[in-house]
Structures are given as structure tokens and as C-alpha cells.
Structure 1
Amino acid sequence: MALNKELIGTRIPTNTVDIERGQLRFFAKAIGDTDPVHSDLAAAKAAGHRDLLVPPTYLFCADSARSDGFNFLEFAEIDIRHILHGEQGFTYHRPVYAGDTLTFETTVSDIYSKKGGALEFLVQATAVTRDGELVAEIHKSLVVRNPEAGK
């Protein structure tokens, strides 16, 4: 089934996340990040940070682990068997640290297709704020295979 273009402009329910040291340490280890500013508090403070610094791609995971039960794929009627992670990009405006409480506000910014509709792309833009101040922006896309295309 083709993606519904009426999703463009849809705002996903706001997600608020507390950034925890243990999660940052686990994430850094999982991705093979050996920079101690992401896992060792003393090293982070020695480097001039107030706490553990968030690794660059961590915000994608932080936003994905929603506690409110909202499931975007279900909402958008996308079959998980037909999706791939297309791309993601981050623009940081301020450092993000363990102990921060972040708010993620996501909007579906575009939907387009390629290969005669066989591949559809759903693009999302997310503003990440701390106490109302923009700290980062995330751009991500899902690739959805449309098994009905070309039939």
C-alpha cells in the first residue's frame, strides 16, 4: 500500500527523555566509541564538560525508546516487514549531557517515491530542546518498499 501523502505536516506526539549516564556508557560501548568523555565522568570533566557528553548519534536512540507507547509505524499504517532505515543526520547547536531532560518534537516533512513507486521515502524532522532551548536537530528517513507497485 502506498504511503498516505496526507501525513506530510503531521506532528508526532512530543517525547520527553531523561538522559542517563548508564545508558550513555552502554551506548558508547555498543558502538565501539572509545572516547572517555562519553563513558568516564572524570575524563569528561577534565575535558571541560559538566557531565558525560552524549555521543553524536545517541539522540536517535533516545527518541526511539518512547515511554508513551506511541508507535509511529502503526499510526502511519506502515508494515514493519517492508521498511529500511534510510538515513539520519544531526545538527548540534549545544552540547548535550547526562542529566539533561530533552524534548523531541517531530514532524513528517516529506514523502516521495522512486522506482515507479516501488520505494517510498518518509522524511521526518525533529527539533530537540532542553528547557525550551534548541540543542539539536535530527533529520531521518525511512524507506518503505511498496509490494503493490508494478502489479
Structure 2
Amino acid sequence: MILSNAKELIGLEFNPYSFGVEKGKIKELVAAIGDTNPIYSSLEAAQQAGYEGIPVPLTYLQIIDSFGGYGFEEKVEKLKLNPVKILHGEQEYEYLADIHAGDELTVNSKVIKAVTKRGSTGGMDVITTENRYTNQKGELVAIAKGTLVHRH
């Protein structure tokens, strides 16, 4: 079934999921992006910089969403989108507290905004989801918002 009205998605919630923050995944990400800051590989360096443990790099939340949450096919099916007509529009992260290797995060995700735009060459749905990340202590540590563009 394909989406008929983007506004019907507002408030749609995804099942929560949990993800353990792994030192190895942090190391893989910083190697992939070329960040050589020792705080991401050495507990001693991280603590000298004022962290409790090895912190996550700023885009680590994408790792959590890619490996811990819904797969692409599951997500587009739940959103009733045609997967060949999707573009990633925007991504933003708000960190409210430090996230470290060894933390266990629970992610709650829902659609917070959905609009349909029409133009002379067709239209598009612009859908924004919000993920809220809570650590094992029950603290909200981050919020991420992602926007998908679904072309008609």
C-alpha cells in the first residue's frame, strides 16, 4: 500500500529498540571518517579530556539507527512509501548528555511532521521522524531528527 496523505503519518510510532554502545563500533566509525582523536580509542585520553568513558563521535547515532532499529525495507513499508522514490533530506542531532562505550540506549521513534508539497513537475511528501535516546539510567541523552523526501 502506498501513502495517500502524508499527514496521516503524524504521530505514527515505531516499536522501541535497544542498542549497546560498543567500543569497537566507535573505533570503526572514527577510522572510517578519519578522526584520529585519542579520546575515541583510549579510556585514559578520554578521562584526561573530562569524559567518564570513551565518548561517541557526533554522528554515532546514525550507527544506532542503522544497526539497531528498523531496516530500510521495514521502515518504508511502515511509512507506506515507494522505496525507489525516497531521498534523505536532512539529519540533525541534539546531545543532552554524554554517551559512552558501554551505555545501553533505548530508542523511541515517531513521525513528528509530514507535509505534501505540490509543484508544476509533480509533488513530494516531506516526512520528519524524531528519535529519542534514553540511557540505562533513564536519562534522555540525545534527540535526532531525520527528514525523508518521498517524490510522487
Scaled to the shorter chain, the TM-score interval is 0.7 to 0.9
Matches within 5 A, 1:2-151: 2=3, 4=5, 5-66=7-68, 71-116=74-119, 118-130=123-135, 131-146=137-152
Is the contact made by 1:15 and 1:63 (CA closer than 8 Å) also made in structure 2?
A: no
Indicate the RMSD between aligned Cα atoms, in angstroms. 2.0
Divergent runs of 4+, >6 A: 67-70
Q: TM-score scaled to structure 2, two decimals?
A: 0.86
> Conserved in 2, the CA contact under 8 Å of 1:28 and 1:39?
no
Gaps of 5+ in 2: none
Distance 1:67 1:112, change over 3 A: closer
Q: CA deviation at 1:53?
A: 0.6
For 2:112 and 2:46, the matched residues in 1 are separated by: 36
Instruction: Using the aligned pairs only, state the percent identity.
Output: 37
Letter in 2 for 1:75: K
Counterpart CA distance in 2 for 1:3 and 1:137 is 28
| Counterparts in 2 of 1:67 and 1:122: CA distance versus 1, 3 Å | closer
Q: Summarize the Cα distance change of 1:99–1:107 in structure 2 as closer, same or farther, 3 Å threshold.
A: same
Q: SS of the residue aligned with 2:68? A: coil
Using the size of structure 1 for normalisation, the TM-score is: 0.86
CA distance in 1, matches of 2:38, 2:24: 14
Separation of aligned partners in 2, 1:128 and 1:35: 25
User: Contact 1:3/1:120 (CA < 8 Å) preserved in 2?
Assistant: no
Alignment coverage as a number of residue pairs = 146
Q: CA deviation at 1:77?
A: 2.1
- Aligned equivalents of 2:69, 2:17: Cα separation in 1: 8
Contact 1:21/1:99 (8 A) holds in 2 = yes
